[in-house]
């Protein structure tokens, strides 16, 4: 993702029509799939892969490569929920064309000069979704890796970027040294490895990967990327920190929903993988954070983007973040029974609001940004479409069987080659957002010193 800020562009009045809206009965599969048909039609209006001269797997500008991965991941769930094969080959072709020469979505043609860790990991989630939903293979060539192997390749490409030479650990935002975010340790890059590792841990029942994800979480806390305010049950999940003199002294306190979403995703998978209350307790604090920050105060239980929505400053990337939140709340609903009603309350209310917002444009079913007004707010784009699709289809997510594992899916999965985040062997630089001038040090040499080994 990039640092551009694009303000919201209102749709021209001439395009406004008074025709139909999306009529949704939440929790009803037929109604959800009817809505999905309308919304995906809107999504495909932006798809360039089936246009003359267009690139397979890409949406038109200004939508970046990562968002394409996000959209196809959502459409994999639509396929499963609706048992509708219309877009199966579109999704297969997109994955096949974008998986890169090394089958790890790294150094992908046309992206290699700009690709960052967060971009890569969103395609990792796409293929993990395909693995967990048993999506039809993109290739009949037995030399081509299966979806789970592609996801593991993404993980194995990213985890070695853990950089314990600065800030006591963490991935940098960028992959390339010459990009401006190289000097930034970003929460999203680390939350991405955390969550993808968690999903692979559950998929392959790999306890080493559970520990590895836990080390990432502990590092986030020790370096104040994640803090718990005194007397509160929620976490603040901050955006990251510039590297200054090899440490991360000043946290960028921006609160973005996609960071919460990936931590929610990861902790719910780790709970499912281990059955350990440690993980449901962690999840509780991320969920509490979503409830604290991302519910529109003008509504009951309707999601919005806290950091930019009110000011109308959400850029194209940020306008898709609620899709990631919706997806992760669906993970909770499926994997953590004790929090199912808690997240479905948000999903249900937001889905109703989103459906009501899908009443704009010349087709009369173009989705808007504000889900709290009961109508279309004049804003539109790929982010609005995929966010509406995800929140609406997640009202029926618990009808699906659980995400499968290599065993339950009957898939061959080589679990012998995976990279783990190293146990810290050195001094960790502790910093604190509220007292940036105070730093302290702790020397650790094993998991048990600083990391829970749960």
- Where does this chain bind ligand NAG (CB under 6 A)? 26-27, 33, 37, 40, 55, 57, 84, 86, 92, 97-98, 108-110, 113, 138-140, 164-165, 176, 178, 204-208, 244-245, 296-298, 304, 310, 341, 344-345, 348, 372, 415, 422, 425-426
Cα 295–299–303 angle (5° rounding)?
30
| Cα angle for residues 32, 50, 11 (degrees, 5° grid) | 60
In sequence order, which residues have a C-beta less than 8 Å from that of residue 328 and are 6 or more positions away? 260, 261, 262, 264, 265, 268
The dihedral through the CA atoms of 179, 181, 183, 186 has a sign that is: negative
Q: Determine the Cα–Cα distance for residues 156 and 406; give it in Å rounded to an integer.
A: 18
Question: Cα–Cα distance between 350 and 394 in angstroms, integer?
Answer: 10
Round to whole Å and give the CA distance between 355 and 364: 12
Q: Which is nearer to ligand NAG, 2 or 97 (CB)?
A: 97
Nearer to ligand NAG, 230 or 357 (CB): 357
The C-alpha atoms of residue 157 and residue 254 are separated, in whole angstroms, by 28
Compare residues 6 and 55 and give the one whose CB is closer to ligand NAG. 55
Residue 349 beta carbon to ligand NAG: minimum distance, rounded to whole angstroms = 8
Distance CA 398, CA 400 (A): 5
**Lookup: tokens for 379:** 């804003």
> How is the beta sheet containing 240-242 ordered, strand by strand?
184-186, 240-242, 251-252
In the complex, minimum distance from the CB of residue 14 to ligand NAG, in angstroms, rounded to a whole number: 26
Give the tokens for residue 412: 């061959």
* Residue nearer to ligand NAG on the CB measure, 208 or 232: 208
Minimum CB distance to ligand NAG, residue 393 (Å): 12
Nearer to ligand NAG, 228 or 342 (CB): 342
CB 234, CB 291: distance < 8 Å: yes
Question: Taking the complex as a whole, how short is the minimal distance between the CB of residue 96 and ligand NAG, in angstroms?
Answer: 8
CB nearer to ligand NAG: pick between 27 and 145: 27
How far apart CA 246 and CA 290 sit, in angstroms, is 32
Smallest separation (angstroms) from ligand NAG to the CB of 188? 21
Q: How far is the CB of 249 from ligand NAG (least distance, A)?
A: 7
Closest separation between CB of residue 84 and ligand NAG, Å?
4
Task: Compute CA distances 241 → 167, 314, 393, 442, whole Å.
Answer: 9, 21, 35, 20
Cβ distance 398 to 329 under 8 Å? no
Q: Which residue is nearest to ligand NAG (CB)?
A: 27
Given the DSSP bridges, would you call strands 226-227 and 236-237 parallel, antiparallel or unpaired? antiparallel
C-alpha of 429 from chain center: 28
Q: Among residues 145 and 228, whose Cβ is nearest to ligand NAG? A: 145
**Cβ neighbours around 417 below 10 Å, total:** 9
Nearer to ligand NAG, 113 or 143 (CB): 113
Instruction: Output the smallest distance, CB 235 to ligand NAG, in A.
Output: 22
Please, what is the minimum distance in Å from the beta carbon of residue 324 to ligand NAG? 20
Q: For residues 335 and 201, give the distance between their C-alpha atoms in angstroms, rounded to a whole number.
A: 14
Shorter beta-carbon distance to ligand NAG: residue 55 or 183: 55
**Least distance between ligand NAG and beta carbon 195 (Å):** 19
Choice between 97 and 161, CB closer to ligand NAG: 97
């Amino acid at each position: 993702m990039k640092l551009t800020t694009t303000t919201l562009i209102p749709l021209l009045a001439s395009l406004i029509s008074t025709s139909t809206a999306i009529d949704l009965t939440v929790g009803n599969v037929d109604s959800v799939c009817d809505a999905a048909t309308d919304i995906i039609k809107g999504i495909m209006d932006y798809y360039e892969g089936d246009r003359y001269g267009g690139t397979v797997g890409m949406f038109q500008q200004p939508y970046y490569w990562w968002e394409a991965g996000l959209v196809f991941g959502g459409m994999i769930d639509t396929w499963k929920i609706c048992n509708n094969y219309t877009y199966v080959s579109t999704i297969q072709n997109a994955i096949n064309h974008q998986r890169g020469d090394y089958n790890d979505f790294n150094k992908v043609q046309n992206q290699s000069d700009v690709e960052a860790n967060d971009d890569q990991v969103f395609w990792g989630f796409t293929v993990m979704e395909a693995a967990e939903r048993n999506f039809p293979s993109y290739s009949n060539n037995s030399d081509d890796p299966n979806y789970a192997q592609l996801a593991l390749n993404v993980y194995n490409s990213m985890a070695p970027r853990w950089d314990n030479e600065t800030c006591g650990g963490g991935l940098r935002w960028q992959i390339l040294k010459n990009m401006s975010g190289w000097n930034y340790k970003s929460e999203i890059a680390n939350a991405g490895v955390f969550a993808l590792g968690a999903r692979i841990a559950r998929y392959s029942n790999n306890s080493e990967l559970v520990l590895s994800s836990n080390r990432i979480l502990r590092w986030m806390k020790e370096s104040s990327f994640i803090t718990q305010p005194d007397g509160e049950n929620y976490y603040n999940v901050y955006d990251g920190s510039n590297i200054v003199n090899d440490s991360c002294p000043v946290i960028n306190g921006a609160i973005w929903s996609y960071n919460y979403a990936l931590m929610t995703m990861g902790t719910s998978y780790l709970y499912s993988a281990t059955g350990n209350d440690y993980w449901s307790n962690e999840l509780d604090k991320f969920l509490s954070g979503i409830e604290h920050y991302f519910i529109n105060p003008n509504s009951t239980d309707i999601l919005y983007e806290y950091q930019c929505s009110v000011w109308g400053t959400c850029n194209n990337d940020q306008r898709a973040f609620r899709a990631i939140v919706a997806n992760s709340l669906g993970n909770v609903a499926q994997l953590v029974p004790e929090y199912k009603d808690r997240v479905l309350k948000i999903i249900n209310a937001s889905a109703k609001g989103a459906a009501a917002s899908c009443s704009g444009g010349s087709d009369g079913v173009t989705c808007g940004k504000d889900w709290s007004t009961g109508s279309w707010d004049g804003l539109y784009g790929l982010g609005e479409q995929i966010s509406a699709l995800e929140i609406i289809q997640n009202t029926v997510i618990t009808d699906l069987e659980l995400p499968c594992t290599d065993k339950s899916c009957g898939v061959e999965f080589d679990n012998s080659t995976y990279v783990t985040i190293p146990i810290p062997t050195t001094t960790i630089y502790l910093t604190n957002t509220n007292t940036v001038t105070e730093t302290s040090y702790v020397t650790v040499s094993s998991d048990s010193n600083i990391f829970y080994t749960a």
